[in-house]
Amino acid sequence: MQILRYLSVRLLFAVPQLLGIAAVAFFLLKLIPGDPAPMMLGPLATQEAVTKLRVEMGLDQPLPTQFLAYLGRLAHGDLGTSWQTTNPVLIDIAQRLPATLELVTLSLVLALAIGLPLGLLAGRKSDGISARFADVFSVVAGALPDFWLALVLIFIFYSIFNIVPPPIGRLDFAVFPPTAITGSYVIDAMLSGDFATFKAAAGQLILPVATLGLIYSVPVLTMTRTTVSRLNDSDFVRFADAKGLSPSRVSRHVLRNAMPSVVTVIGILYSTLVGSVVLVEVVFAWGGIGQYAVSAVLNADINASLGFILAAAVVSLLVHLIVDFIALLLDPRLRSQ
């Protein structure tokens, strides 16, 4: 009941947070140079046509009036229409967000698989081979730009060895997308029993997931290593060593106590990557929400830009809520507070 009460309070606070994010994003986007009306009509449009379109779109009204009108539409679930795609922004986001979430989720799973055991080994034995390897890996992987690593992996594994499919999106042109269930091609193909599509979708994920997983395993490694090193000096570890427990069993106890910090880092990385994975999406022609946002900003597509910001904010709030819930389950001290 305490956990449910806590989560209920967090959900209540999410409403004013979203309103604040919408207000800040709206007024900041309005400060960006560029008028969508002439962009929509083209360079040959007359001034009369541009003025008429501005009136129809409400762009002639003061900014507070425009913002209140936007909030009114937002209250009814209307994010407006993108003038680039001519689709409702909500539909555009629903089509593109699953692609980004699929990429980010699998990448962080790989980052966790790399960073967690390596950080545990390096933290438990600070003068061992694993610690030295962790130092080298952190310096190298942490210094690499994600788009550069993506291009290098494409050059090596596609151009030279040709062991991965071409970087042309989520599926090859000869393969049809699976029946939409979750939005993830890999999961939807498995649920539909379409193993040919599953193989094709999984193949397209190899390089982008490897790119992000290698780079973003460094924060996971660093946090795990730091937390484990600090826990090595705690009373329960000294007591476990004095009892003669095996190193593997002591490491399991240490890892369990380190997990709340690691989960917090994963949540922060997840929220960050949803809005910042655009360069990798461009390299692999992924068609995610990041590409959509950049195109919207460059073309003064205000509705699409605001829709992306609100979608990223909702994902971030949900991720942090889930992270807090997991931390409460892992750490009894938090539940007692």
pLDDT range class, residue 6, cuts 50, 70, 90:
confident
The reported pLDDT for the residue numbered 8 is 79
Give per-residue pLDDT as tens, 187-218. 999 998 889 999 999 999 999 999 999 999 99
> How far, in Å, CA of 104 to CA of 269, rounded?
9
> How far, in Å, CA of 229 to CA of 208, rounded?
32
Concatenated DSSP letters for 208-254?
HHHHHHHHHHHHHHHHHHHHHHHHTTSHHHHHHHHHT--HHHHHHHH
Give per-residue pLDDT as tens, 21-52. 989 998 888 887 777 778 777 777 788 888 88
Q: Which domains are seen in the chain, by residue range?
A: 89-336 (1.10.3720.10)
The reported pLDDT for the residue numbered 97 is 92
The reported pLDDT for the residue numbered 62 is 87
The reported pLDDT for the residue numbered 102 is 94
Which strand (E) or helix (H) includes residue 294? helix 289-298
> How far, in Å, CA of 62 to CA of 192, rounded?
51
Give per-residue pLDDT as tens, 133-174. 999 999 999 899 999 999 999 999 999 999 999 998 898 888
Q: What's the whole-number average pLDDT of the chain?
A: 87
Give per-residue pLDDT as tens, 95-140. 899 999 999 999 999 999 999 999 999 988 888 898 999 999 999 9
> Side chain identity at 149, as an amino acid letter?
L
Structure-block tokens of residue 211: 């790119």
> What's the DSSP call for residue 158?
I
Give per-residue pLDDT as tens, 254-308. 888 888 889 999 999 998 898 888 889 989 989 889 888 888 888 878 889 899 9
The reported pLDDT for the residue numbered 335 is 60
The reported pLDDT for the residue numbered 1 is 67
Asked whether the whole model's pTM tops 0.85, one would answer yes
The reported pLDDT for the residue numbered 334 is 63
Structure-block tokens of residue 267: 């949540």
Does pLDDT of 323 surpass 80? yes
The reported pLDDT for the residue numbered 5 is 77
